[in-house]
A and B are shown apart, each in its own frame.
Chain A
């Protein structure tokens, strides 16, 4: 490709992004403003994640893109093809062989390793957004660690539903300091954020914010002493394709007569298990 600079963005823009990323890594959980660019895709499709990925990519990188855990959904396919074209990097669907993984709504089931970068697409970076509408006030609250309001929200959940009903974008506390929105991943994935050997970067394009979790950062999900956090998923179900009991499952409606099946949301994890089972059988 000669029509584009490597990875679409020009070097000055990537430099700006990298400065924001470095600051975010230096202050885990803190939302760093950056001047988000127009990308050749609509807001809500992961423009923030794409910019962060573009700033991180090197020619020798191997890129994996997932959307809701799947490698073959529109969003994942489009972004993967985009970078294959404008950066010419190798792409893969295997979590273990990827060096940069851009994700929407999931963390892969296969444990990440040192040296890998996980880039999250974030729609709303501010965990206090729907509790306090004034952005000036939420920033002050972060600065002063004034987080009682978040606990009030969890209290309201228990009072109303008997448990903390939040199933995704479950707020976490980073290194005992900043409260962070982990992007809309299911709360099942929250424990994977904690002490992860991989670098985790969060990009919100429309909101112009980047935040990060450096490797081996302490990440705690908020809860009450008598209502502890639980990483829940579809109860008592196993994957209908690979039989996995430990992975996060999607419920798929198969007909209009109430037929349904539960399958792994992480397609790579599921396919790897099926292949291994076929090998064992052979």
Chain B
């Protein structure tokens, strides 16, 4: 089996300041990888480099494309990278406002990616959009409402529907549950877990919430000051943390 994503020696500097340094990992099809760490530890920098939003300074990000097999996305041309971003990849932003078109209806938001890859049949696009709204537990009668009229949790679910509609194989999530209250978070996590398992998606999830990775991630990577300090199976890392920072992180979780 070829790995879906293979990252080798990835580094990104902001001037002389290290964004993230020498990251290596392999993601297999159907696997969910969690990245945790404190604010400023380079999680989001890493995710943006993986998703092609930012060019890393060194290293390779090899993605197993459907047509041409493993390709280095860093040296790909921009049109190829954008095509991947519209088809095989999905990116869920922390703030749904960054990932949605706020002045376009829910149906238009979901149909956006379909139309971007060439769908030109209104009826089909609309049916697909209604379908996906139902799958993320949004009432399909609200298909023509703008995202502004939705609650925060609904906006986040709409963003997920919009991303998954083209059947991506790899989903990047940047704090998908940040900014939501706990009961909405629980529902969203439940939904995400269901979708990831049912569709057999691979995902890279950046978060500072250990509960999220415990629920969703198979493997875990802990970052501090731009470097990976520990990685392994999620339960292993959380139950038996080896690095001092991971121990601190695990012990800082509030128990209710």
Mark each residue of chain A from 122 to 163: 1 if its CB lies under 8 Å from any CB of chain B, else 0: 000000000000000000100011101101100110111000
Shortest B238–chain A CB gap in Å is 41
Inter-chain CA distance A145–B125, complex, in Å, is: 21
B111 within 8 A of A: yes
| B112 touching A152, Cβ below 8 Å | yes
Mark each residue of chain B from 99 to 111: 1 if its CB lies under 8 Å from any CB of chain A, else 0: 0010011011001
DSSP majority for the A interface?
Answer: helix
B117 within 8 A of A: yes
A225 within 8 A of B: yes
| A226 touching B122, Cβ below 8 Å | yes
Q: How large is the interface on A (under 10, 10 to 19, 20 to 34, 35 or more residues)?
A: 10 to 19
B198 within 8 A of A: no
B79 within 8 A of A: yes
| A144 touching B121, Cβ below 8 Å | no
Scan residues 63-83 of chain B and give those whose CB is less than 8 A from a CB of chain A: 78-79, 82
- B78: A residues at CB distance < 8 A: 140, 144
- B121: A residues at CB distance < 8 A: 224-226
Mark each residue of chain A from 206 to 228: 1 if its CB lies under 8 Å from any CB of chain B, else 0: 00000000000000000011110
**Could you list 25 examples of A-B contacts with CB < 8 Å?**
A144-B78, A144-B79, A145-B79, A146-B82, A148-B86, A148-B112, A148-B115, A148-B117, A149-B112, A151-B116, A151-B120, A152-B101, A152-B104, A152-B115, A155-B107, A155-B111, A156-B105, A158-B122, A159-B126, A159-B143, A160-B105, A224-B120, A225-B121, A225-B122, A227-B122
- B22: A residues at CB distance < 8 A: none
- B82: A residues at CB distance < 8 A: 144, 146
Mark each residue of chain A from 143 to 186: 1 if its CB lies under 8 Å from any CB of chain B, else 0: 01110110110011011100000000000000000000000000
- A156: B residues at CB distance < 8 A: 104-105, 108
B15 within 8 A of A: no
Inter-chain CA distance A151–B114, complex, in Å, is: 10
Q: What residue of chain A has the Cβ atom nearest to residue B78's Cβ?
A: A144
| B115 touching A155, Cβ below 8 Å | yes
Shortest A143–chain B CB gap in Å is 9
- A159: B residues at CB distance < 8 A: 105, 107-108, 126, 143-144
Q: What residue of chain B has the Cβ atom nearest to residue A151's Cβ?
A: B115
B residues near A, CB below 8 A? 78-79, 82, 86, 101, 104-105, 107-108, 111-113, 115-117, 120-123, 125-126, 143-144
Inter-chain CA distance A269–B97, complex, in Å, is: 52
- B107: A residues at CB distance < 8 A: 155, 159
Inter-chain CA distance A140–B79, complex, in Å, is: 10
| A225 touching B112, Cβ below 8 Å | no
Contacts A144-B78, A146-B82, A160-B144; A225 near B104 (Cβ below 8 A): no
Inter-chain CA distance A144–B85, complex, in Å, is: 13
Inter-chain CA distance A155–B122, complex, in Å, is: 7
Inter-chain CA distance A158–B143, complex, in Å, is: 13
Q: What residue of chain A has the Cβ atom nearest to residue B114's Cβ?
A: A148
Inter-chain CA distance A203–B113, complex, in Å, is: 33
10 A-B pairs with least C-beta separation:
A148-B116, A151-B115, A224-B122, A225-B121, A148-B115, A144-B79, A156-B108, A225-B120, A226-B123, A152-B108
Inter-chain CA distance A142–B170, complex, in Å, is: 27
Scan residues 43-62 of chain A and give those whose CB is less than 8 A from a CB of chain B: none
Q: What residue of chain B has the Cβ atom nearest to residue A140's Cβ?
A: B78
Inter-chain CA distance A160–B112, complex, in Å, is: 16
Q: What residue of chain B has the Cβ atom nearest to residue A145's Cβ?
A: B79
